[in-house]
Copies of this chain bind each other. A is one copy, B any other.
Amino acid sequence: MKYKIKSRIWIEADDNILLGEGRVALLKAIEETGSLSKAAKTLKMSYKKAWSLIDALNSRAQKPVVTTSIGGKGGGGAELTDYGRKLVNAFETINKNCWEFLDQEMKKQLYHDF
């Protein structure tokens, strides 16, 4: 059997994307670097795109996910809120469980044919 099953999950709020794999990766990079611009750089993403993603995320989430500061020591920065960390953890847990579930489902089907 050479077939592989893949998946992509995301969370929506009011029919708009709130959180998907890309935003989760960005959130994790923000947590590691403490800055939106550095996070964007490590993900080889434009600052603008990173900012847009976080802006949409914050405006649609029920509580702030990322807090930012301008100026001051180091020029400013960005960091996750506790709520943001919870969201990331929940997303990654569900995503991992989904992969395992789908692998099982695929094996079930393999008993039959293909």
Contact = CB atoms under 8 A, between A and B. Distances in A.
Q: Please report whether the interface of chain A is mostly helix, strand, loop or mixed according to DSSP.
A: mixed
A98 B105 contact: yes
Interface residues of A, number: 31
Contacts of A18: 3
This protein's copies in its complex? 2
12 contacts: A3-B11, A4-B11, A4-B13, A5-B10, A7-B7, A7-B8, A7-B9, A7-B98, A62-B114, A90-B114, A93-B109, A94-B102
Interface of A: 2-14, 18, 62, 83, 86-87, 90, 93-94, 97-98, 101-102, 105-106, 109, 112-114
4 shortest A-B CB distances, which residue pairs?
A90-B109, A7-B9, A94-B105, A4-B12
